[in-house]
């Protein structure tokens, strides 16, 4: 039998879903108390690929080749734009697979979630590249000069305010 989580002590407000106050157990059907399940999400989108590719080429490329599934959101966004869709609901089918962890816990948006630093770096890189690509030649040069002002030209380490070189130049 499941026990229900109590309200977090960091808030003074009652639960916005079951209206229990801090320190009380959530109601049995409160959507703030969750467990972890695995679902399969299937999206159907139109993708432009080489005309010579057949089913086995496409499936190899997407499942075992050089394509990265991190690009899937871009495929969905392109499909939505091409077909004038405001959301991807008509493209997606969800299916329950299994319970992963039946331990009751508060929903992740109701508590702090660890930050995936790798994902943040990738997001930052994409934003920087997008700004760089959309910039004029003069703006790109200013951008590179600004980077050179902060990082050592030799080793790439963040440098002190003393110039374009850090201690690594003296270490060589």
- Whether residue 152 is contained in a domain is answered as yes
- With b for 16 or more beta-carbon neighbours within 10 A and e for fewer, the 42-51 pattern comes to eeebeeeeee
CA distance 152 to 141: 17
- What pLDDT score was predicted for residue 1? 33
Measured distance CA(57)–CA(47) in Å, rounded: 14
| Sign of torsion over alpha carbons 130, 134, 135, 140 | positive
Does residue 159 lie in a domain region?
Answer: yes
The pair of structure tokens assigned to 88 is 């991807």
The structural domain count of the chain equals 1
Q: Would you say residue 134 lies in a domain?
A: yes
Residue 150 domain boundaries: 116-172
- For every residue of 108-128, DSSP letters joined together read GGGS-----HHHHHHHHHHHH
DSSP H or E run through 163? none
Tokens found for residue 125: 């890189």
What are the tens digits of pLDDT across the range 77-131?
999 999 999 999 999 999 999 999 888 887 765 444 444 555 555 666 777 777 7
Q: What confidence tens digit (pLDDT) does each residue in 144-172 have?
A: 777 666 666 666 666 555 555 565 655 54
The answer to whether residue 41 is domain-embedded is no
Residue keyed to tokens 């432009």 = 48
């Amino acid at each position: 039998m499941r026990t229900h989580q109590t309200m977090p002590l960091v808030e003074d407000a009652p639960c916005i879903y079951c209206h229990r106050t801090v320190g009380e157990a959530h109601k049995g059907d409160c959507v703030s108390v969750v467990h972890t399940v695995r679902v399969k999400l299937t999206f159907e989108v139109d993708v432009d690929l080489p005309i010579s590719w057949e089913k086995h080429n496409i499936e190899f490329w997407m499942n075992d080749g050089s394509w990265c599934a991190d690009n899937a959101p871009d495929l969905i966004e392109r499909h939505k734009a091409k077909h004038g869709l405001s959301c991807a609901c008509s493209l997606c089918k969800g299916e329950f697979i299994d319970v992963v962890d039946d331990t009751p816990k508060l929903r992740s948006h109701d508590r702090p979630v660890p930050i995936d630093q790798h994902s943040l770096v990738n997001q930052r890189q994409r934003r920087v590249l997008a700004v760089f690509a959309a910039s004029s030649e003069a703006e790109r040069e200013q951008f590179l000069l600004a980077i050179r002002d902060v990082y050592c030209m030799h080793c790439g380490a963040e440098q002190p305010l003393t110039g374009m070189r850090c201690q690594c130049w003296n270490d060589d």
